[in-house]
A and B are shown apart, each in its own frame.
Chain A
Amino acid sequence: MSDLARLNEVATPLAERARAGDSEAFEELVRESYQQIHRWALVQAGDPDDAEDVTQEVLIRLHKGIQRFRGTSRFTTWLFQITRNTAIELHRRRRTRERLADRVRMAHEPESASPARPDQTVAEYGIADVVREFLTELPERQREVFDLVDLQDVAPIDVSEMLDLKPVTVRANLFRARRALRARILERYPELTEEFRP
């Protein structure tokens, strides 16, 4: 059983109890879901610092919105969508703030240092090249699809429901992600493919 399937099995009855007002069940639900929320947030934000903010906001929204969980879709699908919407919203807000800050900076401090880029933050997180490339080189949609299908073993048809995409679009994004990531992997081992080059 995949981690996501196990989470679904554990979290669904907890969500039902939390919806009925059981605060202990809600706390247990958060403990069970916390790492998964953070993982999705990291994949969507592509930056560890932003992922922490998204995760925190998701917990607040989960607390506020647990009443709306009706069990018509899988709990993990519902939670994924909350996480995704939160990540998109925080990203939009952050971009607006950054644009405003840039204008102020340009007006008052033309030579000030530029803010840290996501890839710098990821590098500081101390993770392997393959993870850094995954988080910084792939577009968000490709990261999401690759993470769910190839790393978390979610069936592409379920991913199409989670992301509200046509199955063919899921496959297209999956192939693009694999191609980009594998090209970067093989770049690090040129001896493996040098004989195949024209």
Chain B
Amino acid sequence: MKCAEAVQHLMEADPGELRGEQDSPLSAHVRSCAQCRAVADRILEQEQTLREMMASVRPRVPADEALQRAWWHARLRSRRRLLLGLAPALAAAGLAGILIVGNGGLTPAEPGQAIAIDWERPPLVETAPGQQIAVFETDNPNIVVVWSF
């Protein structure tokens, strides 16, 4: 095998062939030709760097924090489904009011008024008849947008 041909094969060969470990014409050439072995060694070295760096890349968020966020999002989504499921029933019942958020009681929210929500007791959201509710989570876990339309 000539060097030019060997280099072409080196571009697709398995790592074992690049190391000259296999019983193939390419491996035999790499074992006997210093120049092609230098090419193969450089490829192996760079791919080893890639292997090590990919193995060492860590997420920025630690696992336990990501887990807490996942729990939080899962809870939020299940509440959102609950709220969306309740919307037609509440509308059909003809309940008045634009939007009422409270912890068990009926405490109308003023525009701009912050409401402390105890997630152990999910807030009650009601719409006027014929209206829909959409609940959007935000990047801030303390902010949920409730849209009545």
Contacts and interface: CB of A to CB of B under 8 A. Distances in A.
Interface of A: 3, 27, 30-31, 34-35, 38-39, 42-43, 48, 51-52, 55-56, 59-60, 62-64, 127-128, 130-131, 134, 147, 150-151, 175, 178-179, 181-183, 185-186, 189, 192-193, 195-196, 198
18 contacts: A39-B54, A39-B57, A52-B61, A59-B66, A63-B70, A128-B50, A130-B49, A130-B50, A150-B51, A151-B50, A179-B12, A185-B42, A185-B43, A186-B42, A192-B35, A195-B3, A196-B7, A198-B4
B67 A64 contact: no
Contacts of A64: 74
Contacts of A30: 63, 66-67, 70
Interface string B44-57: 00110111011101
A151 B39 CA distance: 19
A127 B49 CA distance: 11
B103 to A, nearest CB: 26
B54 A60 contact: no
Nearest to B5: A196
A60 B67 CA distance: 8
B82 interface: no
Interface residues of B, number: 36
Contacts of A42: 54, 57
A-B pairs with lowest CB-CB distance, top 4: A59-B70, A34-B63, A38-B59, A175-B12
A186 B39 contact: yes
B64 interface: yes
Contacts of A183: 11
Contacts of B121: none
Given A55-B59, A193-B7, A34 B66 contact: yes
A48 B43 CA distance: 25
Given A183-B11, A186-B39, 16 more contacts: A31-B64, A38-B58, A38-B59, A60-B70, A62-B70, A63-B71, A151-B50, A151-B54, A175-B12, A178-B11, A178-B12, A178-B13, A182-B43, A185-B43, A185-B46, A189-B42
A192 B73 contact: no
B10 interface: yes
A62 B51 CA distance: 27
B61 A27 contact: no
Contacts of B71: 63
A196 B3 contact: yes
Most buried by A among B3, B38, B42, B66: B66
Contacts of B43: 182, 185-186
A63 B53 contact: no
B61 A150 contact: no
Contact of A147 (B7, B54, B59, B66): B54
Contact of B53 (A55, A127, A198): A127
Contact of B47 (A62, A127, A150, A186): A150
